[in-house]
Amino acid sequence: MTTEATGMGVPTGTAALQESARRHLWRHFAPVGGDDELPVFVRGDGCSLWDTEGRRHLDALSSLFCVNAGHGRAELAEAAGAQARELAYATTWDTAHPRAIELAERIAGLAPGDLDRVFFTSGGSESVESALKLARAHHRLRGEPSRVKVIARELAYHGTTFGALSATGLPSARTPFEPMMPGGCHVPHTDLYRAPEGRDPLWAADAIEKRILFEGPGTVAAVILEPVQNSGGCLPPPPGYFARARDICDRHGVLLISDDTICGWGRLGTWFGAQRFDLVPDIITTAKGLTSAYVPMGAMIVSERVAEPFVESGEPFAHGLTFGGHPVAAAVALANLDVIEREDLLGHVRRHEADLQAALEGLFDIPIVGDVRGAGYFWGIELVADQATREPFSPEVAYELTERVLGPALRRRRLICRAADRGYPVIQLAPPLIAGPEEFAEIGAILREVLTEAAAR
């Protein structure tokens, strides 16, 4: 694929595609225009992607934490085609169709507790947006219309639509769009690496209660937490964190939302990340791995208790999305769940997560490797100026390191992972759930080269 334009105005060669992308493709979270080295992917199989130059890249991020079952699954493509031929579209508004019904029942069977009602969306932001609106509407129907605030954690990413953004705790994502939707409050995240010695490990959970009391319990609708927080670099909770958070929410009449956009569908070795930590939330928000990203789909999964006021009053939840429960997406999701079950991908993750951890911990001899943390197939490596004292890099150096040194070097070595500077400079890994020791060895070897070079600089 190196020939230039076809003569019909359709670019095909690498340079022509890159040039067309610079002019027309507005990429997300990326500078508009310029990227001379933009990889353009044309094919995927398993844990690999190939670019227009025929080069293989190892996908150690499931592309964007989403291709859980791996690339190139003909079965999922066929499920989409068959459904589009049979029934391309019907709504889940005032009508229904079999695939959405089957999928909702199947998800209810996998979800914890009595989370039995499924509201489909097109992605994670829409799922979070839906949950925040549902929380407000739930309290209003129960006679507490002043419960409108949401408490989330600092640095947490919950999506980009205005409601979801008000829960997002990343200044870089919020500042350009201020003012936010009112009501978003933030509490500390669970940074165990930098926790001062002797501090109560449940300090961060108790901070949720302090904030509820500060705001006034009668004004707080929901708390939203990721099972393992993505931004900040795969921050796991300390033992007991979610039990404490559950108890706090119950005592103050606040709904607890588990944002499983990344942590669901086997990422942590369980169907939902909440299950990994024995949490039964009131609402789960999810997307990404539900279809292994073969088509877009998200979902909000709701407990009977939260649904009850709507059932009893007959009031509809006045919220909807044209593509929620799309038949093609639902058919792909069902086929994806078949794959995950048939190949026991949850068991595979649980059996091999220690191998992934060991491959990353094997890098501790490199002086800038500070912490390795995560769960399942979701891991982050925090980079530090001084391993012994855990001294962080200055913001300028952290930016230089992730954006100018590691990002380009990882791209050159064709390892798809994330070098991010969201709070701390971290490298994040979330390989497809089919990955095993062979891929982990390759990941470890490439990271060793790249981090050794970066440390020397």
User: In the set 128, 254, 360, 401, which binds ligand PLP (CB under 6 A)?
Assistant: 128
User: In the set 50, 157, 241, 424, which binds ligand PLP (CB under 6 A)?
Assistant: 157
The CB density around residue 442, as the number of other CB atoms within 10 Å, is: 16
The CB-of-439 to ligand PLP minimum distance in angstroms stands at 22
The CB-of-115 to ligand PLP minimum distance in angstroms stands at 17
Q: Alpha carbon 270 to chain centroid distance?
A: 15
Q: What is the dihedral of CA 230, 235, 241, 246, to 10 degrees?
A: 0
The CB-of-286 to ligand PLP minimum distance in angstroms stands at 9
Task: Examine residue 50 and tell whether it contacts ligand PLP (CB under 6 A).
Answer: no
Candidates 121-129, 176-184, 425-433, 434-442 — which segment interacts with ligand PLP by CB under 6 A?
121-129
Q: Parallel, antiparallel, or unpaired: how do β-strands 149-153 and 378-383 relate?
A: unpaired
Q: Parallel, antiparallel, or unpaired: how do β-strands 48-51 and 56-59 relate?
A: antiparallel
Listed residue (74, 73, 76) closest to 434, CA to CA: 73
Task: Examine residue 325 and tell whether it contacts ligand PLP (CB under 6 A).
Answer: no
Task: Examine residue 262 and tell whether it contacts ligand PLP (CB under 6 A).
Answer: yes
Q: Alpha carbon 190 to chain centroid distance?
A: 17
Listed residue (285, 313, 346) closest to 118, CA to CA: 285
Listed residue (350, 362, 360) closest to 426, CA to CA: 360
The CB-of-454 to ligand PLP minimum distance in angstroms stands at 25
Task: Examine residue 226 and tell whether it contacts ligand PLP (CB under 6 A).
Answer: yes
Q: Parallel, antiparallel, or unpaired: how do β-strands 184-187 and 149-153 relate?
A: parallel
- CA-to-CA distance for 285 and 161, rounded, in angstroms? 14
User: In the set 52, 92, 166, 261, which binds ligand PLP (CB under 6 A)?
Assistant: 261
The CB-of-296 to ligand PLP minimum distance in angstroms stands at 8
Q: How many residues does the chain have?
A: 457
Listed residue (123, 142, 105) closest to 300, CA to CA: 123
Q: Between residues 104 and 167, which has the closer beta carbon with respect to ligand PLP? A: 167
The CB-of-231 to ligand PLP minimum distance in angstroms stands at 8
User: In the set 158, 326, 348, 373, which binds ligand PLP (CB under 6 A)?
Assistant: 158
Q: Between residues 126 and 439, which has the closer beta carbon with respect to ligand PLP? A: 126
Binding site for ligand PLP (CB under 6 A): 123-125, 128, 157-159, 226, 230, 259, 261-262, 287
